[in-house]
Amino acid sequence: MAGMTVIVRTIARLLFPFTFLFGAYIVLHGHLTPGGGFPGGVIIAASVVMLILAYGIERAQKRVSFLHAEVLESVGGLVIVVLGLFGLLLGITFLQNVFPLGELGQLFSAGNLPLLYLGVGIKVAAGILLIFYAMLFAFRGGEE
């Protein structure tokens, strides 16, 4: 995939920070407003996919390679499991909310919920990106 015309590239480059920021906003406010890790992660992945479509896979791979995405996906999953185990170690049950709850409606509140959403967001963003990469590789002929 060689990428698209200058117009598309420019607009994709301009839009990318805003899309990414919006995704991050949705992830971080998951415990306060509708949305959360999954929709936010998808938006973040979509922003990167947009860049890949505009610039072509070769340039995108220099920034976020297949390996990075794979590691990030594992990290996202591990964050969730480790938070769950924290509940086990410090509290009584798995995934118990053992962190201070804070004040209702604040960004840093609700104990482990924002952290969980962060884990989910990382995992989903990396996962969707991995799916996209895998399909591209499948099209181009099986190189890993």
Partner 1 sequence: MDFNYTIAMLLVALGLYCLLLKRNLIKLIIGLAVLTDGIHLLLISLGYRTGGIAAIVSGEMFSDLPGFAARAVDPVPQALVLTSIVINICIVAFALSLTIYAYRHYGTLDPSKLRRLKE
Partner 2 sequence: MIPHAPILAIVLPLFAAFLMPVVGILARRRGIKRAREWFAIAAVLAELVIVMSMLPVVWGGQVLVYQLGGWSPPWGINLAIDGLNLLVAMIVSGISALVVIYSFVYMGRDHGLDQYYTLFLLILAGMMGVTLTGDIFNLYVFFEIMCISSYALVAFRRNWQSIEASIKYLIVGSLGTSFILLGIALLYGMVGSLNIAHLAQKLPLEPTSAIIVPLALFVTGFGIKIAMVPLHMWQPDAYQAAPSAVAALFSGATATVGIYAMVRVVYTLFGVFAIGIMLAALGLVTMVLGAFMALTQRDLKRLLAYSCISQIGYILLGLGLGTSLGIQGGLFHLFNNAIYKTMLFMIVGAIIYRVGTSNMDQLGGLWKNMPVTATLFGVGALAISGVPPFNGFASKWMIYVAGIEAGQAVFTIIALIMSALTLAYFLKAFNSIFLGQRPKHLSDVKETPLPMMFPIMLLAVLCIVFGVLPQLGIDIVRPAQEALMNSGGYIGAVLGGA
Chain residues binding partner 1 by CB under 8 A are 32-34, 38, 104-105, 128, 131, 134-135, 138-139
**CA-to-CA distance for 62 and 98, rounded, in angstroms?**
40
Whether the Cβ atoms of residue 112 and residue 83 lie closer than 8 Å to each other: yes
What is the phi/psi pair of residue 66, to 5°? -55, -40
**107 is a contact residue toward partner 2 (CB under 8 A):** no
Separation of CA 8 from chain center: 24
- Shortest distance (Å) from residue 134 CB to partner 1: 6
Among 19, 61, 97, 109, binds partner 2 (CB under 8 A): 97
Whether the Cβ atoms of residue 129 and residue 64 lie closer than 8 Å to each other: yes
**1 is a contact residue toward partner 2 (CB under 8 A):** no
* 144 binds, options partner 1, partner 2, none, Cβ within 5 to 8 A by partner type: partner 2
- Shortest distance (Å) from residue 131 CB to partner 1: 5
